[in-house]
Amino acid sequence: MPSNKSVSDAPIVQFTNCRILRSHQLQREDLWVREGKILNPEKLFFDEKGSADIQLDCKDSIIAPGFIDVQINGGFGVDFSLATDDFKAGIDLVSQKILSHGVTSFCPTLVTSPPSVYHQVLPQISIRNGGAHGAGILGAHLEGPFISKEKKGAHPEHCLRTFEAGAFQDLLATYGSLDCVRIVTLAPEMKRSSEVIRELTKRGICVSLGHSVANLSQAEEAVQHGATFITHLFNAMLPFHHRDPGIVGLLTSDKIPAGRRVFYGMISDGIHTNPAALRIAHRAHPKGLVLVTDAIAGMGLAPGRHTLGQQVVEIDGLNTYIAGTKTLSGSVATMDTCVRHFQEATGCSVETALEAASLHPAQLLGIEHKKGTLNYDSDADFLMLNDGLYVQATYIAGEEVWRQDALGM
């Protein structure tokens, strides 16, 4: 039966012989796609009397929403915190290459930098949809420079800043513009941080707590003012202490405003967080866990020296250090690797592992009505994976943008 052309001339594609991640479960159903959106087959049959124009046999693959990486500093030799003449070409390269990792949307992340870098780089980042050209850009994640000197990690100390009398104006002057900014990581114990958190939240920017020596009550106060995220939990914050659990205590705090969920990023690369710590966090607050790569320019490259903003870093296997030190500096893990490691380390279900890289980051950014799920009318950004959770193909807006076979693998 031909599809009803009065509704749309666009072809309807039916993905068959697959298990779809929907409503937190893998379900044996077909996936229907038209014009970049996921269709409700019942409406198609009964309202439009339509059927598929193209059928694709998925050979029993898992179909899951595309991964969303909200903290990625670069990759493949490109460093988002370096103001270069070919910055746009660099961001295009990374967005193309991460399709093979299952990432369909991301937040390019800048580490602590001088104001001149923000002023040069941020105008060159534009929010855009994904496609054959690469993963979609959801907006920038600015990690610093308003962070703690004691917990600076790989951030250059000479670039760190505090909030002065006109706190929010300081932030604006430092960044130059907030037009393309989606997430700001700051240390909530800083004086005047509350007004900054309120102002950023008012503008729809997600505030994340990180690189901080905050105690639990300072962290709770930040959440009451609008903060909703924790940057790479356990890393660059006070270690958990039973009398004052610090930012980590937000996972089980009873002072979170009603109806609000605190999310937390985890670098599940087997290096940044011991598997036992990953299990503790996941069991304490499973619905808040967001997998991030925190990948740096060296991801996808051979071991050796690379950059992270103003610093030189050294890659040794999966470890990345500030050159000449043992200070960890981002990761070289890919998102699909993080998903597999998370599932293995926690023993969680396949569904839970996949949602930590798709549904949860979408909920964090408030875009779960179009990304991070395979619900009807949402964007048809999805992956085909095998049972080992290796990505076989990546689709954006219903179009295949990467396939393993295409590389002769």
All structural domains of the chain with their residue ranges? 13-64+373-403, 65-365
Does pLDDT of 7 surpass 70?
no
Catalytic residue numbers, as ranges: 294
- 329 annotated among ligand-binding-site residues: yes
pLDDT, mean over the chain = 95
Which tokens go with 300?
């996808």
pLDDT value of residue 318: 85
Given this model, what pLDDT does residue 181 score? 98
Q: Is the pLDDT of residue 407 over 70?
A: no
328 is an annotated ligand-binding site residue: yes
| Model pLDDT for residues 200-240, shown as the tens digit of each residue | 999 999 999 999 999 999 999 999 999 999 999 999 999 99
Q: What share of the chain is helix, strand, coil (3-state, %, to 5)?
A: 30, 30, 45
pLDDT tens for residues 67-85?
A: 999 999 999 999 999 999 9
Q: Which fold has domain 65-365?
A: TIM Barrel (3.20.20)
Q: Alpha carbon of 196 to those of 70, 144, 161, 163, 171: distances in Å?
A: 21, 13, 14, 9, 8
pLDDT in the model for residue 3: 44
**Is 330 marked within a binding site?**
yes
What Rg value do the Cα atoms of the chain yield, rounded?
Answer: 21
Confirm whether residue 235 is marked as ligand binding. Answer: yes
Q: Which fold has domain 13-64+373-403?
A: Urease, subunit C; domain 1 (2.30.40)
Query: For residue 367, with 0-12 CB atoms within 10 Å meaning exposed, 13-18 middle and 19 or more buried, which class applies?
Result: middle
Residue 5 has pLDDT above 60, yes or no: no
User: What is the reported pLDDT for 239?
Assistant: 93
- Predicted pLDDT at 406: 52
pTM of full prediction above 0.75: yes
pLDDT score, position 317: 84
Per-residue pLDDT tens digits for 109-142: 999 999 999 999 999 999 999 999 999 999 999 9
